[in-house]
Amino acid sequence: MKVFITGIAGFLGSHIADAMLADGHEVSGCDNLIGGYVDNVPEGAEYYQVDCCDLEAMKRLTKGVDIVYHTACTAYEGLSVFSPTMVCQNTYMNTVSIATAAVINRVKRFVYCSSMARYGTQEIVPFTEDMVCRPQDPYGISKYSAEQFLKCLCSVHGMELVIAVPHNIIGPRQKYDDPFRNVASIMINLMLQGRQPIIYGDGTQKRCFSFVQDDIYCLERLAFQDDVVGEVINIGPDEEFVTINQLAETIARLLDFELHPIYMQGRPQEVKMATCSADKARKLLGYHTEYSLEKGLEQMINYIREKGTKKFRYHLDLEIVNGKTPKTWLNRMF
């Protein structure tokens, strides 16, 4: 098969590319490098530094392609309240462009990587795929809007669609010099520099973190199984539901670091309790976890140590600056 991956230089896209190459598929992809590193692109994949919003480029690059994995987006929930134009452009409009090109070139199947941000705040956790979605930040709204757009376009033009909802994936290759997202990577980068982590709010927000290798084989199957077409499937663990405080404590223990977190004002629209049920993925994809949170964090620590700690890069502009804008970004505190 010929597989095209948007966001191939990013964390998730590069791991999907690895899996597809290992199975003998022909892999190509694009990335605008907002959230990735060129050296993430695996050897053997054809890489283009092109933005997904460029329709003409997408039409050219998806000619003859069988499967599209759309992982590219600016996945910044907290930042999206303060830079909505940039986030929505690179979340919703880039989906419109790549999907339009895929339809024009008669791509057989489109695998869309959505986000648990689609669910927003729910009365109960874990989130299940049949819940009414209530996204509460521009990023989540854009992700869910892109899903609705894809359902419409694929239904009209006969392209197979699968919507994956990977959530809180961690692991090697995750961008760790980004001050706007990737809480585990930020904490590890800071603590390896001898600096205290910064926690928004009181740190009692709860999440499940999924090590990337526990998700890749499920994402890979979405390209080929017949019984997943038209489905929305959560991919990630529903065990080890931990607070952000507990995450910091675990990293500190692994690093033998004396922890005294710096607490800052909570970010607007942050969901307090967020985790997804994995029951559907277990049934359809044989989902199971082999990496505990601690084991996954150890892999990340080893990766960042090997690559070397980095100074945080404030590479994205704040479109809205007011009294609610986090001081961590305004004052470049990371």
- The predicted structure's pLDDT at residue 44: 97
Task: Give the C-alpha separation, 177 to 189, whole Å.
Answer: 8
- Per DSSP bridges, beta strands 206-207 and 242-243 are antiparallel
Going by C-alpha positions, the residue among 43, 39, 22 that lies closest to residue 31 is: 39
Going by C-alpha positions, the residue among 153, 163, 166, 241 that lies closest to residue 205 is: 241
Q: For residue range 113-144, what is the model confidence (pLDDT) as tens digits? A: 999 999 999 999 999 999 999 999 999 999 99
Helix (H) or strand (E) holding 3: strand 2-6
**Phi, psi dihedral angles at 128 (to 5 degrees):** -115, 155
- The predicted structure's pLDDT at residue 176: 96
Task: Give the C-alpha separation, 62 to 56, whole Å.
Answer: 10
Domains of the chain: 2-170+211-235 (3.40.50.720), 183-207+239-275+290-330 (3.90.25.10)
Q: Which pair of tokens denotes residue 108?
A: 């057989």
Task: Give the C-alpha separation, 91 to 327, whole Å.
Answer: 25
Instruction: State if pTM tops 0.95.
Output: yes
Q: For residue range 216-251, what is the model confidence (pLDDT) as tens digits? A: 999 999 999 999 999 999 999 999 999 999 999 999
Q: What does each C-alpha distance from 46 to 2, 5, 22, 31, 43 come to in angstroms?
A: 11, 10, 15, 11, 8
Please classify residue 322 by burial: count the beta carbons closer than 10 Å to its beta carbon, then call 0-12 exposed, 13-18 middle and 19+ buried: exposed
